[in-house]
Amino acid sequence: MSLLQTWYGLSDYEIEDRLNDSISFSRFCGLQLNESSPDHSTLSRFRSIMTQTKAYDKIMKNLNKQLEAKK
């Protein structure tokens, strides 16, 4: 969800709406058609925890490494 937010420049409210409306966004995030996305406050809390623990840095380094390997 964070990647989609970054790539499409979406706020927490906007990504919540897009995940509930868009099959492609839902599928990308592994949600089934009968599942709702996490709400905007859950996304905000998750991002805060990821930032505080510096987990985003590790994830982004790993993602970039995979993208570079696949060119």
Which domain range does residue 49 map to?
2-70
Confidence of residue 2 (pLDDT cuts 50, 70, 90): confident
Mean pLDDT of 62-69: 91
* Distance in angstroms between the alpha carbons of the first and the last residue of the chain: 23
Domain count of the fold of the chain? 1
Res. 69: pLDDT tops 90: yes
Q: Which helix (H) or strand (E) holds 49?
A: helix 40-52
| CA 10 and chain centroid, separation | 10
The whole model's pTM is what?
Answer: 0.75
Q: pLDDT tens-digit profile of 12-64?
A: 999 999 999 999 999 999 999 888 899 999 999 998 999 899 998 888 899 88
Q: What's the pLDDT at 56?
A: 84
